Amino acid sequence: MGEKTKKKVKTIKVDVDKCNGCRACEMICSAFHSVPKYSGNNPARSRIRVIREPLKDIYVPVYAGENAKAECMGRDKYVIDGKEYEECAFCRASCPSRDIFKEPDSGLPLKCDMCESDPTLEKPLCVQWCMVDALTYEEREEEVEEDVKLDDVETGLDSLVAKHGLQKVLDTFARMSQKGAEQPGEK
C-alpha cells in the first residue's frame, strides 16, 4: 500500500448515445501504438474497441483497463440514454474488455495508457479523432494511493506470472537466456 497523494486523474467520458460506430478511435489508437509509431494499423491492437449491441443497434466504446484480478480499476464514465453513470458502472468481471484486449501475436494484455508520449499530447488521440464528441477528455484532482506504474512489458510479465506462477516464468527466462548465450555469433 502506498502513501496518499494528490494526483491528476485523466479520464475519458463515453457518451454511448453519440457513438456512430465509425471506429476511427480504434484505427488511430492502433496506429499510435504500432512500432515504429504509425507504421501500421490493426484494430486488434487497439486499446479501445467498439462493441455493437445488434438487438438495440447501439455501439459501446470500451477501454482496456487495468488487468486487475480482484478489484475494478475502471475510471470511465458512460452516458447511456442521457443518464450519466459514474466511474464505469460496467463490472470488469463481466466486461467484454477482458477477452478482446489481447495483443494478437503474443496474447499478452493491452492497456490504455492515455496516449502517453513525449511531448505530452493535449488530448488522447481517440478523443481527438472522434468527430461526434462521443469521447470527452476530463482531468480532475484526486487523493490517490501512490502506485507503482507498470509499463507494457511489466504489464505483460505481471499477467504471465498471474497465469503460470513466478517460478515457471523465472525457469523459462533462465532457459531462454541459456539458449541465447549458446547462439553462435551472439555477443
62 binds ligand SF4 per the rule CB under 6 A: no
Nearer to ligand SF4 (CB atom), residue 53 or residue 171:
53
* Total residue count of the chain as it appears in this document: 187
19 binds ligand SF4 per the rule CB under 6 A: yes
| Of positions 13, 17, 24, 90, contacts ligand SF4 by CB under 6 A | 24
152 binds ligand SF4 per the rule CB under 6 A: no
50 binds ligand SF4 per the rule CB under 6 A: yes
Distance CA 72, CA 61 (A): 18
Q: How many CA atoms lie within 13 A of 81 on its CB side?
A: 1
How many helices (H) and strands (E) in the chain?
5, 6
Question: Quick check: helix, strand or coil at residue 157?
Answer: helix
42 binds ligand SF4 per the rule CB under 6 A: no
What are the grid coordinates assigned to 60, written together?
459501446
| Interacting residues toward ligand SF4 by CB under 6 A | 19-25, 29, 32, 47-48, 50, 59, 61, 63, 112-115, 124-126, 129-130, 132, 134-135
